[in-house]
Structure 1
Amino acid sequence: MDSPRQTFKTARGHTYSLVHIPPRDSRRPTLLLLHGFPSHLHDWVHQTGYLAAHGYGVLAPDLLGYGQTDQPSCPDAYRLKLMSDDIADMVRALVMVAGHPKRSTLVGVGHDFGATLLSRAAAYYPELWHRLVFLAVGPPKLGTPFDVDSINHMTRQILGFELLGYIKWLATDPQAATTLESHAQAVMNLVFCADHGVWDEWYRPLGKMKEFCEQERRVAMGAWYTADLQRQHLECFARPGGYRGATMWYTMWTDNLFAEDEKELQEFRIQTPTLFVGAEGFAQQRDLLAAWCEDLTCREVDGGHWIHLEQAKRINTLIQDFLE
């Protein structure tokens, strides 16, 4: 990602670090790329290069709490409504003409927790979007409460392990961020592992991610997470405060701090044309999104969670085909 970073300060005073590449001409839309956990704007390198080469605009920020963007210390700052406000400020200043939305100018692309943020920004600011693309994660409709303990209890009975044990740790242990920062190489090794089944043993079950990190374990990493990406990842996260903001997203989620903002939008349905691309857990994630999306196109690819890295060429082609 050769384009220089720039900064943008939102109306509520948070400064975002981002890469912005204008489209080749006004007929081409700009794609807003929203990453997940634990990621940052460099993990969109394959999409950024491809899209820019084909004349599209790109807007790729480090999201709040990540990388070179501000890291507020209060979980309330990470409410999805407030971060959606930040996105709208950014888009209106950098993408829209004279501050007036043009529906043909903006496509949102979200992965993991970035997909959840995109879904909420689509609800709070539906006039902004020309197309929406969700990768790997199909977010639940607005107003859906999140009960991590119930999910973990149920999946323990069905699967033999807790599906979201890592969320319980990240959200509730005040030392989790420090542990991740101190063992960032082990975290990266686990998160970007080559064998997707490793997550069922060491990532998802309650307490196992912490154990993996503290014991400095190693597994084979995916070849698709290159040496350059590894270096940039460690520069982002292997430092004091590297994970502090990222874990705040999970505290916000488990504490349901988003719920009050979504009370009046529980019946909202996405009417913007939408693409969902998934791999593992495809049907479950697809169905979550299909329950509240009016115009949904679905595609399944081989791979794990990091499909935009593992299957970059395929993802780029699917996105371009969906736009054109």
Structure 2
Amino acid sequence: MDPALYKDAQVSRGLKYHYFYQPATPGKPTLLFIHGFPSSSYDWHRQVEYLRPKGYGLLVPDLLGAGETSKPDDPEAFRMVRIARDIVDLLDVEGLDKVVGIAHDWGSVVLSRLANLFPDRFYAFAWLVVSYAPPNPVPINIDAVIGHLKTMTGNGRYGYWKWFNEDDTYLICDKNLDSMLQLAYAKDPAIWLDWLTPVGKTKEWVEGNRQPGIPDWLTPQEYEHMRETMAKGSFKSYLNYYKVATRSLNVPDDKEIPQEAYYIRKPALFIGAKRDAVAPPDLGRMACEQFVPHAKIVEFDTGHWVQLQATEQVNKELEEWIEGLGLQDTKPNL
């Protein structure tokens, strides 16, 4: 991604966002890409490289806590409604009336709130791996959630959330950065079954500084770019996504979202990853069936990082889906 096409903007609550932006050519819509954890806008570089020559507008921010965007320590800053408002501020800065939203991982939750609160700013929504996530106006008990998932699916899924919720976790992650990244970007998706989803095992992995190496679907240059980006900051701010969820800090905002807004009526796409131990496609399908029944659903035989592990297939699927929307957005930037 061309560094010359990155910009900085201050959103309405005073935070700085760093983002890649290329305006659309006439007749092409702008695509908003929202990444997840522990990532930055660079996670979408293969999609940007594929779509950029085709004339699509591209807006790809570093999310709050990531890359060169502001990194607040206070978990309250990471309430999803507030981050969604930040993203709309970026659309306003660039004079973008409507975009196509595409997201992965925690970015999918941000895109979900955008769909609830600002549907008129979007032509359509695409969720990768983590599907549409409706508001949750009820406080959660993470132990109960883990227990329920274990009973329902045989896998507690969110065991690592308990450690990520602790205030000093970032110190171990920062100290053993390669170990943390090589668990997140695991060589074998099955590693997550033993070291991410069970309670206590993620801490054991990172404290032990396990480094099995990088997956074959990442080049050494890509891994080093990701590592350098993360090394410039800290996990202290970034882990607030998990604290906000585990501590139910989104509940006051979610209570204010009317139930009719839970249902997504714009065109939608869900791309599932069959070998993701945390967010299997079956869970995504359940959410879509209830709230986005018209969504197109496709699955790929990959782990969590589907846009990197199955790049050509994902790029083709996204392009065909976008073209199928029949958009002719010739409105110039304001």
TM-score normalised over the length of structure 2 = 0.90
Residue 147 (structure 1) aligned with residue 141 (structure 2): yes
How many angstroms apart in 1 are the aligned matches of 2:14 and 2:170? 24
What amino acid is aligned across from residue 263 of structure 1 in structure 2?
K
2:29 maps to 29
What amino acid is aligned across from residue 259 of structure 1 in structure 2?
V
* Secondary structure of 2:214 counterpart: coil
**Farther-moved stretch of structure 1 (153-162 vs 298-307):** 153-162
Q: Check 1:160–1:42 CA distance in 2 against 1; reply closer, same or farther (3 A cut).
A: same
1:317 maps to 316
Specify which of 105, 111, 117 is matched with residue 112 of structure 1. Answer: 105
How many angstroms apart in 2 are the aligned matches of 1:179 and 1:243? 9
Structure 1: stretches of 5+ with no match in the other structure: none
* Secondary structure of 1:300 counterpart: strand
Structure 1's consecutive aligned runs of 4 or more residues displaced over 4 angstroms after TM superposition are 156-161
* Secondary structure of 1:50 counterpart: helix
**Farther-moved stretch of structure 1 (217-226 vs 300-309):** 217-226
What amino acid is aligned across from residue 189 of structure 1 in structure 2?
Q
The question of whether the paired residues in 2 share the 8 Å contact of 1:142 and 1:266 is answered with no
2:17 maps to 16
What amino acid is aligned across from residue 313 of structure 1 in structure 2?
E
What amino acid is aligned across from residue 47 of structure 1 in structure 2?
Q
Residue 193 (structure 1) aligned with residue 186 (structure 2): yes
2:65 maps to 65
How many angstroms apart in 2 are the aligned matches of 1:115 and 1:49? 21
Structure 1 residue 157, shift from structure 2 partner: 4.9
Residue 206 (structure 1) aligned with residue 199 (structure 2): yes
Q: Share of identical aligned residues, percent?
A: 30
Q: Check 1:132–1:158 CA distance in 2 against 1; reply closer, same or farther (3 A cut).
A: closer
**Farther-moved stretch of structure 1 (143-152 vs 2-11):** 143-152
Structure 1 residue 3, shift from structure 2 partner: 4.1
The count of corresponding residues between Structure 1 and Structure 2 is 314
Deviations 1:105-124 (A, max 9, x none): 40101100100100101111
Structure 1 residue 266, shift from structure 2 partner: 4.7
Deviations 1:137-185 (A, max 9, x none): 11331235443211222344566663211111101x1111111111110
Q: Check 1:84–1:254 CA distance in 2 against 1; reply closer, same or farther (3 A cut).
A: same
**Farther-moved stretch of structure 1 (137-146 vs 60-69):** 137-146
The question of whether the paired residues in 2 share the 8 Å contact of 1:166 and 1:205 is answered with yes
For residues 36-185 of structure 1, what are the structure 2 equivalents within 5 Å?
36-96=36-96, 101=97, 105-143=98-136, 145=138, 146-157=140-151, 162-171=156-165, 173-185=166-178
Residue 231 (structure 1) aligned with residue 224 (structure 2): yes
Specify which of 257, 281, 294 is matched with residue 249 of structure 2. Answer: 257
Residue 299 (structure 1) aligned with residue 292 (structure 2): no
